[in-house]
Structure 1
Amino acid sequence: MPSPYVRRRRLATELRKIRESRGLTTDELAKLDYQSRTKITRLENAQVRPDLAEVVTILEILEVTGRQYEKLFQLARDAAVKGWWDRYGSPMGPRQRLAADLESSAKTIRSYDQTAFPALLQTPEFISALVKLDESQGTLDYRPERMADARARRQKCLLSSDGPMYETVLDECMIRRLAVPPAVKAAQLRHLIALVAAEERITVRVLPCDGPIPGGFLPKASFYLYAFPASADPPLVVVDTVTTDLVLTERQEVARYTEVYNRLRQVALSSRDSLTFLGRLADRLTDEAGSDI
């Protein structure tokens, strides 16, 4: 299934271009459509799931016909589709809904993680430990049990026969500094090792904290690069910030983050050496956990 979010952004871009080519402002289109300017703006900014009847009306106002009409109508249909994540609603958390949507049709996912292990690769015990850390910072914008259930569903999709290629670069500083119980972290590390051994499509690399990264500045946040099978669906970047996820689609922005990722990957340990590193750290954490009993 094509990502509804990706198709929504494509539809928004196309509608905005056509409106501008007709010499209409959003206010003028809203008046012709008997709608509010805000509603048109939200549609053109991909902030809402499109209503098919409303899109048809706009296409008629803009005098779109023939193959262009068929193309845009199909885009609107794809953009309006609801995925399994929509059944979870807000209890799943807004960030996770976006991620599930993008993962549903991604061909490849590459990530740099400097704050936590990738959600797609987390154990239930590790998720619970992260929830406790999150609770210490304030009110949650999700229900932990629903979030964990949805995350398990995402992991199942990743491991399905048609799941995407997944590569992550884990910052060593994150691995060592994340304040979860040693036994839980050790189990998480062994889970990563087992996943990589069992799934050729999953690659984990560790970025050593003592190695310089030439070619430019250090990354300022975790980020995720998504590429999709359809050539018409452009790649995009999701940048993880403290309060929200930023979605970047401009070609230059995507290229810049791709270049940063490639620089990190070149300095990171090989997959084999990364697994060796994670195994040794897991053993050390297990010893620490045992000494605390």
Structure 2
Amino acid sequence: MPDPSPTIRERRIAIELRRLREQTGLTLDQAAERLRWSRATLGRVETAVRRIKPAELQRLLNVYKVDGRHRDDLVELARDARERGWWHRYTDTLPAAYATYIALEADARSLHCYDALVVHGLLQTEDYAREVIRAGLMQLASDSQVEQRVEVRLNRQALLTERDPPLQLWCVIDENTLRRMIGGARVMRAQYARLVEMAELPNVTIQVLPHRAGAHPGVEGTFAILEFPERFMPDVGYIEALNAALYVEDPAHVDAYSRVFDHLVAEALGIVDSATMLRRLAEEETKEGLDDR
């Protein structure tokens, strides 16, 4: 039996169709009359309750006078709208907010993030991810549930190396995050090495925000900004909480987070100096490990 719930792409199409109608100056009744649809039918399309067919989409775009690149983007998005991502097989066990984020991340062109607590999931090693998930997210879960969540996290990382084009990732990582001992020295050495390795990819930028930066605009905590390839899809801010997530969609609020990120980039170490610090941290853990023998 097909899954009746709308995908992220279908929701995005519905939101854009409503915006286009309002931009055209048509009420729901007026647009429905021109289409010879019922008001309820168009309302269900605009809320992603009813899946729109290709021919119907073309008629809507004609009524709203949409052409050129914008039209092509919408038609292409609609063509693949019911495609389910790899994470769909985990939806019975994933929190709805997390599944929604994964879908948005998979569609994003770029992701800018500030990590104040733990290394971003796209950059975590398997062992580091396991420690974070077990300790911070799933303390009462079984080992098999923890391992399944680790598998999901590792699968997400294909966006950086296997997708064409790859996700453009820019992370500013607080020095406190890097010095937080998660899983012991061995796990941290491997995590530092992973960060150095990933920073060498052309689509990945990693900067370290050092202690000496003092108070800064990101003191309220971790956040991410997702940018999408479609011109009609606005950027989305994402703030993760313990059992929920906050999506920031108002353009003014997203812009505020973008400006905070720009400030953090300016206050962080440069790319070369950040890589040098990561290597030094790895060497410190190696030395301490030898001293403890």
Per the alignment, in what secondary structure is the counterpart of residue 230 of structure 1?
A: coil
TM-score by length of 1: 0.76
Q: Which amino acid aligns with 2:172?
A: V
Q: Deviations over 1:80-114 (max 9, x none)?
A: 43222112223344454233312323221111011
Alignment pair present for 1:180 and 2:177: no
Aligned length: 265
Unmatched segments (≥5 aa) in structure 2: 1-6, 31-37
Per the alignment, in what secondary structure is the counterpart of residue 205 of structure 2?
A: strand
- Most deviating of 77-86 and 105-114: 77-86
What does residue 132 of structure 1 align with?
134
Contact persistence 1:8–1:76 (CA under 8 A): no
Q: Deviations over 1:241-269 (max 9, x none)?
A: 22222111111011000000000110000
Contact persistence 1:221–1:241 (CA under 8 A): no
Q: CA deviation at 1:7?
A: 4.9
Q: Which amino acid aligns with 2:282?
A: A
Give me the whole-angstrom Cα distance separating, in 2, the residues matched to 1:185 and 1:65.
53
Per the alignment, in what secondary structure is the counterpart of residue 221 of structure 2?
A: coil
Distance 1:247 1:178, change over 3 A: farther
What does residue 196 of structure 2 align with?
193
Contact persistence 1:92–1:150 (CA under 8 A): no
Per the alignment, in what secondary structure is the counterpart of residue 129 of structure 2?
A: helix
Distance 1:211 1:218, change over 3 A: same
Per the alignment, in what secondary structure is the counterpart of residue 102 of structure 2?
A: helix
TM-score by length of 2: 0.76
Q: 1:119 aligns with which of 118, 121, 128?
A: 121
Q: CA deviation at 1:17?
A: 8.1
What does residue 12 of structure 1 align with?
15
RMSD of the TM alignment (CA)?
Answer: 3.4
Alignment pair present for 1:22 and 2:28: yes
Give me the whole-angstrom Cα distance separating, in 2, the residues matched to 1:90 and 1:162.
29
Q: CA deviation at 1:23?
A: 6.9
Unmatched segments (≥5 aa) in structure 1: 25-30
Q: Which amino acid aligns with 1:109?
A: L
Q: Which amino acid aligns with 1:8?
A: R
Give me the whole-angstrom Cα distance separating, in 1, the residues matched to 2:160 and 2:77.
25
Q: CA deviation at 1:115?
A: 1.5
Contact persistence 1:7–1:233 (CA under 8 A): no
Q: Deviations over 1:6-56 (max 9, x none)?
A: 5514513644885993379xxxxxx9749xxxx96xx73xxxx6442xx57
Percentage of matched positions with identical amino acids:
24
What does residue 210 of structure 1 align with?
212
